[in-house]
Amino acid sequence: DYFLTLDEPMNNITTTLGQTAELHCKVSGNPPPTVRWLKNDAPVVQEPRRISFRATSYGSRLRIRNLDTTDTGYFQCVATNGRKTVSTTGVLFVKFGPPPTASPGSS
């Protein structure tokens, strides 16, 4: 039986500069789908030690470390298995964090 199912819509994430964000693409299918990641309709480019995505048991995971405000955008995962295509989109919003507070006794 051929099938392709989006098991869960992608989560929206709001986080702050320097944090790590993980977006999960939860899909299942037969044959197992291949997953592509897009940011604002352009392919996500992996960056060593910063942006990576990999296949997981539930579909695919995109991880972005050391977030910058330029990472804000619409992230879409597109899963296809040759017969059918499904996609889901989540918003990643990176905001400036609170200014670091001086630690006690530093003055």
Give per-residue pLDDT as tens, 17-64: 999 999 999 999 999 999 999 999 999 999 999 999 999 999 999 999
Of 53, 1, 52, 57, the C-alpha closest to 28 is 57
pLDDT in tens, 78-100: 999 999 999 999 999 999 877 66
Where along the chain do its domains lie? Answer: 3-95
The hierarchical CATH code for the domain 3-95 is: 2.60.40.10
